[in-house]
């Protein structure tokens, strides 16, 4: 008996293991077929806020490569941010299995957003017709691998350019790096109906009414840059003052690293602020932040969450670059424009954290009241 030749389907759902729909024969005509098209890989192993910010490039990627399959490689802690995103076909976690898998694929485009030896080493090792972003030279140094990545690259090496002269947002810089159209597209962060229902039930349980303005305090920051947070005393001052106004509800937000800090704040303010759980996992953390109408925050992952959830953001800046952050006309950025040492991106401050001491707390209160008139007239 003559064996027939097997024709592998050109379908992004096909794995070669079993049918994507029970009872279907993948080797015959299928009305569920989705053409693979160009194979695109996004490498983003950086901080979680940066991963979320990179989602703003997806619309332009799909516009440039309309028939395509998009893979996204990230770390395990950031992967939940990419769930329920219709632009992404496959989310891969940074581990040996994923690296081995990716090295078998002949990509059309690899987009490496990170300037790290891990992501750059992988970028070098992958087969792709075109690569954008960053790789390694034969001495192991990180280098730009396309000319349009040069500005992004130099920005990391020239403090005067980064801190004083640059006028581009992070999204604009990355679009330039990837040679994409820049349309000021928003982050993509989607909630399921179940998560939206959870938010509504939590509000009801805590007696938050539809006409209440919910103000969330993102109180902490990552351990990588520990000086991106206000003092406990500053938070207590804001809560004490804002609690005097009618129809304003206050909630404390944060992750596991903020548990002790939030508990201390709660001890001072009592029932003037709702203490949301900090150890329920990332997706629940997104839900708690989604309850807020306004988020008061430093330049942290919580700020990027608020931007992705389209909240009104009151963001203060000290050591980081406020120019690179786009609030999409929903909020205000507060910074010390004439403070000689800010921004600096230093993990330890030689000037006694002047940028944090100088935060105008009464200005923050005024901005909350402006937001109340705008959002809950």
pLDDT digits (tens, 9 = 90+) for 12-31: 888 888 887 787 888 777 77
Distance CA 311, CA 141 (A): 39
pTM of the complete model: 0.94
Mean local confidence (pLDDT), 274-290: 97
**2 has a pLDDT exceeding 60:** no
Q: Which residue has the higher pLDDT, 199 or 26?
A: 199
Q: Which domains does the chain have, with CATH numbers?
A: 38-177 (3.40.50.2000), 193-375 (3.40.50.2000)
**292 has a pLDDT exceeding 50:** yes
Mean local confidence (pLDDT), 187-200: 98
Q: What's the mean pLDDT when you consider all of the chain?
A: 93
Is 110 in contact with 130 (CB distance < 8 Å)? Answer: yes
Is 290 in contact with 309 (CB distance < 8 Å)? Answer: yes
Distance CA 18, CA 15 (A): 7
3-state secondary structure of 315: strand
Residue-wise pLDDT for 35-48, tens only, equals 999 999 999 998 99
Distance CA 112, CA 126 (A): 11
**185 has a pLDDT exceeding 90:** yes
- According to the model, what pLDDT value does residue 1 have? 41
Distance CA 355, CA 335 (A): 8
**Which residues have a Cβ under 8 Å from the Cβ of 337 and sit 6 or more positions away?**
none
Measured between its terminal Cα atoms, the distance across the chain in Å is 79
**Range of weakest confidence among 61-75, 290-304, 326-340, 349-363:** 349-363
Mean local confidence (pLDDT), 3-19: 82
pLDDT class for 105, splitting at 50, 70, 90? Answer: very high
Mutual orientation of helices 232-242 and 259-269 as an angle, nearest 10°?
A: 40
Mean local confidence (pLDDT), 185-195: 98
pLDDT class for 73, splitting at 50, 70, 90? Answer: very high
Share of the chain above pLDDT 70, in %: 98
Nearest in space to 341 (alpha carbons), one of 362, 323, 317? 317
- According to the model, what pLDDT value does residue 346 have? 78
Please give the order of strands across the beta sheet that includes 274-275.
274-275, 248-253, 213-218, 294-297, 312-316, 331-334
**371 has a pLDDT exceeding 90:** yes
- According to the model, what pLDDT value does residue 227 have? 77
Is 299 in contact with 326 (CB distance < 8 Å)? Answer: no
- According to the model, what pLDDT value does residue 3 have? 56
Q: Where are the alpha helices (DSSP H) in the chain?
A: 48-54, 58-64, 96-102, 117-125, 150-155, 159-160, 170-177, 193-205, 232-242, 259-269, 282-291, 301-308, 354-357, 361-375
Residue-wise pLDDT for 160-180, tens only, equals 999 899 999 999 999 999 999
- According to the model, what pLDDT value does residue 270 have? 97
Name beta bridge partners: 248: 213
- According to the model, what pLDDT value does residue 101 have? 97
- Report angle CA 47, 53, 55 to the nearest 5 degrees: 115
Of 54-58, 255-259, 340-344, 350-354, give the range with the top mean pLDDT: 54-58
Share of the chain above pLDDT 90, in %: 79
Mean local confidence (pLDDT), 336-345: 77
């Amino acid at each position: 008996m003559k064996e027939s030749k097997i024709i592998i389907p050109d379908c992004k759902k096909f794995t070669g293991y079993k049918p994507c729909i029970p009872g279907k024969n993948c080797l015959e005509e299928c009305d569920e077929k989705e053409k693979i098209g160009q194979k695109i890989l996004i490498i983003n192993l950086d901080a979680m806020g940066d991963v979320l910010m990179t989602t703003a490039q997806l619309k332009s990627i799909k516009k440039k490569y309309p028939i395509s399959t998009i893979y996204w490689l990230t770390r395990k802690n950031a992967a939940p941010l990419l769930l329920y995103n219709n632009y992404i076909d496959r989310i891969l976690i940074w581990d040996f299995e994923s690296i081995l898998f990716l090295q078998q694929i002949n990509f059309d485009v690899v987009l490496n957003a990170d300037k790290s030896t891990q992501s750059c080493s992988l970028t070098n090792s992958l087969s792709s017709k075109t690569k954008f972003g960053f790789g390694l030279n034969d001495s192991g140094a990180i280098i730009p691998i396309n000319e349009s990545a040069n500005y992004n690259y130099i920005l990391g090496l020239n403090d005067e350019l980064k801190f004083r002269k640059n006028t581009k947002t992070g999204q604009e810089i990355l679009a330039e790096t990837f040679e994409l159209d820049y349309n000021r597209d928003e982050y993509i962060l989607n909630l399921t109906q179940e998560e939206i229902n959870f938010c509504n039930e939590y509000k009801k349980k805590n007696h938050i009414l539809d006409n209440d303005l919910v103000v969330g305090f993102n109180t902490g920051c990552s351990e990588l840059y520990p000086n991106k947070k206000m003092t406990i005393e500053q938070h207590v001052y804001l809560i004490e003052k804002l609690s005097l106004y009618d129809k304003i509800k206050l909630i404390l937000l944060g992750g596991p690293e903020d548990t002790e800090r939030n508990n201390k704040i709660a001890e001072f303010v009592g029932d003037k602020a709702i203490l949301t759980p900090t150890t329920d996992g990332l997706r629940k953390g997104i839900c708690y932040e989604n309850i807020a109408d306004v988020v008061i925050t430093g330049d942290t992952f919580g700020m990027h969450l608020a931007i992705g959830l389209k909240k009104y953001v009151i963001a203060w800046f000290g050591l980081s670059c406020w120019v690179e952050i786009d609030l999409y006309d929903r909020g205000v950025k507060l910074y010390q424009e004439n403070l000689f040492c800010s921004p600096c991106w230093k993990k330890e401050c030689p000037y006694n954290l002047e940028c944090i001491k100088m935060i105008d707390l009464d200005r923050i209160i005024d901005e909350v009241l402006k937001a109340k008139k705008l959002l809950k007239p």
